[in-house]
Amino acid sequence: MRTVNEEAHLKPAIQFDNSYARLPGAFYALQKPTPVAKPELIRINEGLAELLGIDAQWLASEQGVQMVAGNSIPEGAEPLSAAYAGHQFGGWNPQLGDGRAVLLGEVIGRDSLRYDIQLKGAGRTPWSRGGDGRSPLGPVLREYVVSEAMHSLRIPTSRSLAAVSSGEQVYREEVLPGAVLCRVARSHIRIGTFQYFAARKDTDSLERLTQHVINRHYPELAGSDSPALALLQAAIDRQVSLVTKWQMVGFIHGVMNTDNMLLSGETIDYGPCAFLDDYQADKVFSSIDSGGRYAYQNQPGIAHWNLMQLAQCLLSLIRQHFDSDDAAVEATQSVLDAFPALYSNEYQRLANLKFGFAESLAGDDELVKDWFELLAAHSLDFTLSFRRLYELAEPTLAADHSIVHLFEFPETMTPWLQRWRKRFDADSDPSARAATMRTNNPALIARNHLVEQAINEATETQNYGLFNQLVDALQTPFDYQRNSLPDRLLRPPLAEEVVRRTFCGT
């Protein structure tokens, strides 16, 4: 067997193919990462490395760690920071851009899909404004844990390939250890990327960007009558699919600005995100979301609003394929207006999987509404309520696969549970539906208090034990076996553990 070093001489460690770097210069600034003082590996993601054709052993080696830290540029990389704009909390910002991120390049994965490999916290760029281009350790760990947890929940998301500590301090309200995250996504093209060019009336770049996104994410649209309109429709479909999935696991993104919404339909930016513990429709965690703009129940409406901004950008291209401006506007509007119906259809479809219904019947809306009202009224845990409901659909479930020692419905839920049972029995094939419920009602989510505790232990005492335990356990959120998982990872927070506020941590 060859050693890692010998292998490195034979072929580049990463087979880059950089399509974004081939776009015109207006799309980015060429920007190398700024080296850090003393990089040390925190964790690598072996499964993801394998998907990307990167040798995990190499990635964990000195050379790999140097790359993740930004201290060495791998062969074939063309580092750049992308330009974008965006609406932040509804307020327009014409120039944001990668202020602390550098795209090393792209690879074609073993699944034949193209992936960006980006370093976050890689130093200042032309878009840094007043920022230092760095990231504290906490946000890196949060993004690693939560993005990988989302992936295991089958929710499209950017992923975490590796994290390293930098050996440097970053200065926020306090002095914190620094870190770099190696992030992977199908692309980092945002609604804000379109807004950047639209605001500059740069139609040529908009056209190039539209083509690039279609080639990359929606190749089936290439021959459309109006590619831009088809792209809008496709982006709407993917956001509907994404946000309904968030709602189903009680995920609150927390900062749904237009620069944080990807055309690929993946979740990005794990800043102030959090999962619901007890169910509350108007729940907000983010310390900077004082108006509750990005509250749990507002997420679909905000997605719609963001897509309107995308539509606005695409309108000049859509016009080219219509006889009149009015006709173009009307067609665009009708695509946008379909959002609420698409959303509620998809919501209902996914809710059926969680409640164990084969198809929608009259009266289901009422049943679902009452469920959530009861959860809210009794401050019941969102995740464990659904998981326990699944267990009720599977009466032969072995005791050591049940969460009943941690959660049981209160007496007051009995009438509702009887209604649900009757409804459940009305469909055929109960065991198939129970199996579906199991894989749609996770036992395990990335609980806010555990993520916070893992971050605190790593930050204060360099203890990564809980961080690693969480990342490992969250890979199989739908399996529960009492002996293989401490109750602590499963149960809701105790009163003194509840996290009420999350912070962007930029």
Given the residues 259, 269, 289, 381, select the one marked as catalytic: 259
Q: Smallest gap, in angstroms, from Cβ of residue 123 to ligand AMP?
A: 9
Give the contacts of 86 (CB within 8 A, at least 6 positions apart).
93, 96, 190, 191, 192, 195, 257, 258, 259, 260
**Binder to ligand AMP among 131, 340, 415, 486 (CB under 6 A)?**
131
As given in the structure block, the two tokens for residue 280 are: 């509350």
**Binder to ligand AMP among 13, 71, 80, 98 (CB under 6 A)?**
98
Q: Smallest gap, in angstroms, from Cβ of residue 118 to ligand AMP?
A: 11
**Binder to ligand AMP among 116, 132, 266, 277 (CB under 6 A)?**
132
Interhelix angle 414-426/382-392, nearest 10 degrees: 50
What is residue 94's DSSP assignment?
S
Strand segments (E) across 137-239: 159-171, 175-185
Tell me how far apart the alpha carbons of residues 402 and 390 are, in angstroms, rounded to a whole number.
10
Contact pattern from residue 133 through residue 162 relative to ligand AMP, giving x for each residue in contact according to CB under 6 A and a dash for the rest: xx----------------------------
Ranked by CB distance to ligand AMP, the top (closest) residue is: 131
Distance between start and end Cα atoms, the chain: 44
Which of 284, 466 has the CB closer to ligand AMP?
Answer: 284
As given in the structure block, the two tokens for residue 309 are: 């901004």
Give the one entry of ligand AMP, Mg ion, none that residue 253 binds, where binding means its C-beta sits below a cut-off of 5 to 8 angstroms depending on kind.
none
* Distance, C-alpha 370 to centroid of its chain: 29
Contact pattern from residue 230 through residue 259 relative to ligand AMP, giving x for each residue in contact according to CB under 6 A and a dash for the rest: -----------------------------x
Binding to ligand AMP (CB under 6 A) within 262-301 occurs at 269, 271
Which of 127, 339 has the CB closer to ligand AMP?
Answer: 127
CA angle 342/187/264 to nearest 5° reads 5
Q: Smallest gap, in angstroms, from Cβ of residue 259 to Mg ion?
A: 5
**Binder to ligand AMP among 353, 392, 499, 504 (CB under 6 A)?**
504
Provide the greatest CA pair distance for the chain: 69
* Distance, C-alpha 19 to centroid of its chain: 23
Which of 143, 269 has the CB closer to Mg ion?
Answer: 269
**Binder to ligand AMP among 160, 166, 258, 260 (CB under 6 A)?**
260
In the chain, the amino acid numbered 385 is S
Q: Is 223 exposed, middle or buried (0-12, 13-18, 19+ CB in 10 A)?
A: exposed
Segments in 227-380 forming alpha helices (H): 227-249, 299-319, 325-337, 339-355, 364-377
Give the one entry of ligand AMP, Mg ion, none that residue 20 binds, where binding means its C-beta sits below a cut-off of 5 to 8 angstroms depending on kind.
none
Give yes or no for residue 100 binding ligand AMP (CB under 6 A).
Answer: yes
Give the contacts of 127 (CB within 8 A, at least 6 positions apart).
29, 81, 83, 95, 96, 97, 98, 99
Q: Smallest gap, in angstroms, from Cβ of residue 98 to ligand AMP?
A: 5
**Binder to ligand AMP among 57, 66, 128, 316 (CB under 6 A)?**
128
Which of 30, 327 has the CB closer to ligand AMP?
Answer: 30
Which of 221, 243 has the CB closer to Mg ion?
Answer: 243
Evaluate whether 389 touches 420 at the Cβ level (below 8 Å).
Answer: yes
Which of 265, 477 has the CB closer to ligand AMP?
Answer: 265
Instruction: Count Cα atoms within 13 angstroms, Cβ side, for 35.
Output: 6
Which of 260, 441 has the CB closer to Mg ion?
Answer: 260
Tell me how far apart the alpha carbons of residues 246 and 445 are, in angstroms, rounded to a whole number.
12
Give the total of residues touching ligand AMP (CB under 6 A).
17
Which of 134, 447 has the CB closer to ligand AMP?
Answer: 134
Give the one entry of ligand AMP, Mg ion, none that residue 178 binds, where binding means its C-beta sits below a cut-off of 5 to 8 angstroms depending on kind.
none
Give the contacts of 486 (CB within 8 A, at least 6 positions apart).
none
Give the one entry of ligand AMP, Mg ion, none that residue 504 binds, where binding means its C-beta sits below a cut-off of 5 to 8 angstroms depending on kind.
ligand AMP
Ranked by CB distance to Mg ion, the top (closest) residue is: 269
DSSP 3-state percent helix, strand, coil across the chain (nearest 5): 50, 15, 40
Question: Residue 153: which of 242, 237, 265 has the closest Cα?
Answer: 242
* Distance, C-alpha 372 to centroid of its chain: 24
**Active-site residue 259, yes or no?**
yes
As given in the structure block, the two tokens for residue 210 are: 């539209």
Q: Smallest gap, in angstroms, from Cβ of residue 96 to Mg ion?
A: 8
Evaluate whether 97 touches 84 at the Cβ level (below 8 Å).
Answer: yes
Evaluate whether 183 touches 279 at the Cβ level (below 8 Å).
Answer: no
Binding to Mg ion (CB under 5 A) within 251-280 occurs at 260, 269
Q: Smallest gap, in angstroms, from Cβ of residue 129 to ligand AMP?
A: 6
* Distance, C-alpha 471 to centroid of its chain: 15
Q: Smallest gap, in angstroms, from Cβ of residue 161 to Mg ion?
A: 18
Q: Smallest gap, in angstroms, from Cβ of residue 91 to ligand AMP?
A: 12
Which of 269, 289 has the CB closer to Mg ion?
Answer: 269
Contact pattern from residue 123 through residue 142 relative to Mg ion, giving x for each residue in contact according to CB under 5 A and a dash for the rest: --------------------
The SS3 of residue 403 is coil
Give the one entry of ligand AMP, Mg ion, none that residue 139 binds, where binding means its C-beta sits below a cut-off of 5 to 8 angstroms depending on kind.
none
Footprint of Mg ion on this chain (CB under 5 A)? 260, 269
List residues binding ligand AMP (CB under 6 A): 96-100, 127-128, 131-134, 259-260, 269, 271, 504, 506
Active site residues: 259
